[in-house]
C-alpha cells in the first residue's frame, strides 16, 4: 500500500506518503506545498492539482486519506477549501485510487487514543513514531501525517508494527 495523506489549504497544503511492506511501515515523504497568495485562486487550484497528481504518479499511490472539513468562522475559506477537496476527489477518480475520509476526532483518536487531543499531542506522537524526522515546518504537515496514519490504521485494523 502507498498512502497519500493531504491537509489541503489555499495557502499551505501539508502532505505525507507512507508505504507498507508486510508488517513494516515506511515514511516515504512528507512536506508542504506553498501556494502564492499573489496568484489567483484558479492558478493555486491548478498548482494544487498538478503537485498532487505528480506525487500520485511518482509514488504509485494506492490510497488517499483526507480529513473531513469543519465550518470555521470564515465561510469564504470553507468554500475555497471545497475547491481543493474537489480536486482530491477528481484525482482519486482519475487515478482509480481509494479515498478515505476521517473526522478530526477520528484522526486524533487513532493517533493518541483521545479524540479531543491537541495538535501538540498529535505532533508528539508523530515524533515518537518517527524519531528521525525534523521539526515540522507548519502544523499542516503534522496534520497531513496524522491523517495518513489514520488512513493506514483504519484500513488495516490499527496494526502498528515496525515503524520506520
| Catalytically active residues, by annotation | 7, 67, 140
Enumerate the β-bridge partners of residue 14.
7, 32
Dist CA 81 CA 63 (whole Å): 20
Angle at alpha carbon of residue 33, lines to 6 and 11, rounded to 5°: 95
CA distance readout (Å), 122 to 44, 72, 134, 140, 164: 28, 21, 15, 12, 18
Alpha-carbon distance 25 to 14, whole Å? Answer: 20
Q: How many CB atoms lie within 10 A of CB 100?
A: 19
What is the spatial distance between Cα 81 and Cα 91, in angstroms, rounded to a whole number? Answer: 15
Q: How far is residue 158's CA from residue 102's CA, in Å, rounded to a whole number?
A: 14
Amino acid at each position: 500500500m502507498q498512502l497519500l495523506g493531504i491537509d489541503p489549504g489555499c495557502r499551505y497544503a501539508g502532505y505525507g506518503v507512507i508505504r507498507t511492506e508486510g508488517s513494516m511501515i515506511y515514511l516515504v515523504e512528507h512536506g508542504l506545498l506553498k501556494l502564492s497568495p499573489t496568484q489567483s485562486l484558479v492558478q493555486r487550484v491548478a498548482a494544487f492539482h498538478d503537485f498532487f497528481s505528480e506525487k500520485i504518479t511518482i509514488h504509485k499511490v494506492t490510497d488517499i486519506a483526507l480529513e473531513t472539513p469543519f465550518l470555521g468562522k470564515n465561510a469564504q475559506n470553507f468554500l475555497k477549501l471545497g475547491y481543493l477537496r474537489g480536486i482530491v476527489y477528481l484525482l482519486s477518480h482519475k487515478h482509480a485510487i481509494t479515498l478515505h475520509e476521517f473526522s478530526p476526532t477520528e484522526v486524533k483518536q487513532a493517533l493518541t487514543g483521545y479524540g479531543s487531543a491537541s495538535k501538540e499531542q498529535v505532533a508528539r506522537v508523530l515524533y515518537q513514531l518517527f524519531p528521525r524526522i525534523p521539526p515540522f515546518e507548519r502544523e499542516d504537515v503534522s496534520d497531513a501525517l496524522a491523517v495518513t496514519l489514520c488512513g493506514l490504521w483504519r484500513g488495516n485494523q490499527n496494526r502498528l508494527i515496525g515503524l520506520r
